[in-house]
Amino acid sequence: MPTGGVQRQLSLPPAPDSARQARRFVADVLTDAGEDALLDVATLLTSELVTNGIVHAHTELRVITEVTERFVRVEVVDGNPSLPARRDYDKSATTGRGMEMVELLAHEFGAEPIDGDGKRVWFRLVRGNATGVASDEPESRAAELSEATVETVVRTHSVVLCGVPVALYCAWQQHADALLREATLVALDENGVSSGDYPLAAQALAALAQAAHEIFVLRDSEVALADVPLSIASDAMPCFPILRDLLARATALSSSGRLLTPPSLPEIVALRNWVCEEMARQAAGLPPRPWQPLPVDETRPAAASAEALELVRHSALALVAADASNRIVAVSEAAKRLLGWQDGTLEGRRLVTIIPERYRDRHVAGFTRHLLDGSSSLLGREVRVPALRRDGTEVDIDLLIERRPDATTRALFVATLTPR
């Protein structure tokens, strides 16, 4: 360490409050060193690294802060050797962007396994006018990292996901990441520790995210369906049934209002089960089974306030209202006539009932992303689209969707359908 530098360490448990303690610790070190200019970015990146350790490592954490005349370096050490990976989510995503944030804001960053077990994840910020912060990691560390990388490549299992609905898959992985992250923090907050299921589920999801980045490239190229070969870390393969079951429990928590992350839509649940079951099947040597779209004939009661329902049902316009579970809660008489559902049985059905099949995956993906991060290309903007009538024919409409607050459901979406 250069002359005049200072280094301090803090050990923390894998608990929700540890991120706040780590921010305060780094802030104190930088304040004592007279480095207020880097305080905001240093505490932000520290919070991200510590939260990742809480969610994915489930071991004691050690935060090491070093301040020299040239740079500030923060390192987070945990007992899980799995290295963090960037998630290729949308630009508006509110989860899965931690390492991208570190990459964008830090002058240098890195992650590598450490001797024995565990890993270190670190970043450097240049102080004042200092430039050219050269890496001082020993050459043996680079050799060790290279060796570990080769070992990881060798220990993989080949899986093929056949007929992947690309947009739906990407929405599922983003939603699963957010759901697992929040469920883990809730378990830690309520119990002090999380069960062994959480790190195993996180291991499976991280291995999948690392292997499936090509699917996001396909999405950006507007590919709808694809056969996708994957190389999954062998030690993660037994964890996929655990991931499936834990995400199911997390969805139940979300449905009961205990999580901020919205519950999984039926299509997302079906895709989750298919992906996890394909991992288990193919690990046992069974052939791949292609994805099968979820049938749309399911009907069940959906909730919304009585006032909102009556406003829609009694409107002279062709209105369809859906709740945050993507289920139709109210239909005006004009909309019933337009769509051929005069018998009144459209309410309670999933919204995809009136969406042509070729657009359903994109609809569910976009709806899931909107509930996660508020992004939308349709809200408040009239667009021309086809609607599916009960007899299987299509009618061209101008569609305007508005999101309205509702006391009974997380959100109420009211669509005005104007025939062309």
Q: Give tens-digit pLDDT for 30-70.
A: 999 888 889 888 988 898 888 888 877 778 899 999 999 89
CA distance linking residue 11 with residue 76, whole number of Å: 10
For 306-419, CATH gives 3.30.450.20
The confidence score (pLDDT) of residue 145 equals: 38
User: Would you state the torsion angle of the CA atoms of residues 113, 177, 282, 268, taken in this order, to the nearest 10 degrees?
Assistant: -170
Assign domain 6-152 to its CATH architecture: 2-Layer Sandwich (3.30)
CA distance linking residue 23 with residue 26, whole number of Å: 5
Residue 362 — very low, low, confident or very high, per pLDDT cuts 50/70/90?
A: very high
The confidence score (pLDDT) of residue 146 equals: 39
Residue 90 — very low, low, confident or very high, per pLDDT cuts 50/70/90?
A: low
The confidence score (pLDDT) of residue 221 equals: 92
57: tokens are 């490592």
The DSSP letter of residue 238 is G
CA distance to 152, 324, 403, per residue, from 417 (Å)? 53, 19, 15
End-to-end CA distance of the chain: 72
Q: What angle do CA 15, 18, 20 make, to 5 degrees?
A: 135
Amino acid at 407: A
Residue 128 — very low, low, confident or very high, per pLDDT cuts 50/70/90?
A: confident
Is the separation of the CB atoms in 354 and 339 below 8 Å? yes
| 88 has pLDDT over 80 | no
The confidence score (pLDDT) of residue 346 equals: 93
User: Would you state the torsion angle of the CA atoms of residues 84, 86, 89, 95, taken in this order, to the nearest 10 degrees?
Assistant: 40
Domain boundaries, the chain: 6-152, 155-283, 306-419
> What's the rounded mean pLDDT across residues 198-216?
87
Q: With H, G, I as helix, E, B as strand and everything else as coil, classify residue 415.
A: strand
| Alpha-helical segments (H) within 192-265 | 197-211, 213-220, 240-255
120: region left, alpha or beta (phi > 0 left; psi from -120 to 50 alpha): beta
Nearest to 372 by CA among 265, 248, 294, 258: 265
Any bridge partners for residue 400, and if so which?
416
Strand locations in 82-224, DSSP E?
108-113, 119-126, 156-165
Average pLDDT of every residue of the chain:
84
Helix axes 166-191, 266-283, angle to 10 degrees: 90
Residue 192 — very low, low, confident or very high, per pLDDT cuts 50/70/90?
A: low
| 364 has pLDDT over 90 | yes
Radius of gyration of the chain from its Cα atoms, rounded to whole angstroms: 25
- 47 phi and psi, to 5 degrees? -60, -40
| 355 has pLDDT over 60 | yes
Tens digits of per-residue pLDDT, 277-331? 999 999 988 999 999 998 887 777 666 678 778 889 999 999 999 988 889 999 9
